[in-house]
Amino acid sequence: MSIPKIRVRNLKKYFGTKKVLDGVDLDVAPGTSLVVIGGSGSGKSVLIKSILGLVTPDSGVIEIDGVDVLSAPRAQARALREQIGMLFQNGALFDSLPVWENVAFGLLAEKKIARRSARAKAIEVLAQVGLADNVADLSPSELSGGMQKRVALARAIASEPAIMFFDEPTTGLDPIMGAVIDELIVDCVKRLGSTSIAITHDMASAVRIGDTAAMLYDGKITWTGPAAELLTTTNPLVDQFTHGRSEGPIKMALRR
């Protein structure tokens, strides 16, 4: 059995007295896409930020390629995390830089390539997400929401990462643009052979981009299974969440 690309065990994170992650266990096999679903504030973003090293968990194990990044030497943990590309929920594009420099930012920082070559590579990657070279010199604020998302996706894939994280990739987009972004994500992940984790509230998106799915509830993973079964599973938590029912165990938990 192959080593999971990402393995999380008993991950815990509290903010003060607020329990956010309470023993999360997760495996993501190499070359597969996992979708994590869960309500607002359920800790989905904290989970991927913990793997990225942006949040320090209170305890637990996070392994990338079999190495625990929480206990590994700083340089080794950094090198392992450098294989992760991230698409942030709101794009998180740098306002002060033109589009091409946003896309090439990681290339300039990691690979120290010349600016001219970086620009050419950025235009090439922009084409892969369906953007023409005439957007390269625009400022991010001059782009529509959908175009900003594409630029953010281009930035995430520019250095061809082995692992990709997508935080609410279709939030704020109309259904058609959401489907387009999902197709681009699937295309990029397959083309690069990457392992990915996406977190989303959008069930159509979850089914489109995920091979497997997991539900995060009350600080724990309460269900895992094929993403295609998200809408048909009999698990009461997943069933209520995916169908958006107000009655069910999740509401009961909130009342308690």
Among positions 86, 135, 214, 250, the unique one binding other proteins when judged by CB under 8 A? 86
CB 87 within 8 A of CB 167: yes
Q: Is 144 a binder of other proteins (CB under 8 A)? A: no
> Which run of H or E residues covers position 242?
helix 236-243
Q: 20, 46, 84, 180: which one contacts other proteins (CB under 8 A)? A: 84
Identify the residue among 4, 57, 60, 85 touching other proteins (CB under 8 A). Answer: 85
Instruction: Tell me which of 89, 128, 139, 171 binds other proteins, using CB under 8 A.
Output: 89
Please report how many Cα atoms fall inside a 13 Å half-sphere around the Cα of residue 93, on the Cβ side. Answer: 29
Would you say 25 and 35 are in contact if contact means Cβ atoms under 8 Å apart?
no
Instruction: Decide if residue 172 touches other proteins (CB under 8 A).
Output: no
Asked if residue 92 binds other proteins (CB under 8 A), the reply is: yes
Q: What is the DSSP string of 116-179?
A: HHHHHHHHHHHHHTT--GGGTTS-GGGS-HHHHHHHHHHHHHTT--SEEEEESTTTTS-HHHHH
Choose one: 89-97, 129-137, 221-229, 236-244; the region binding other proteins (CB under 8 A).
Answer: 89-97
192 forms part of the interface with other proteins (CB under 8 A) = no
Q: Hunting for tokens 């005439």 — which residue is that?
A: 134
Residues that bind other proteins (CB under 8 A): 49, 52-54, 82, 84-86, 88-90, 92-96, 105-106, 109-110, 155
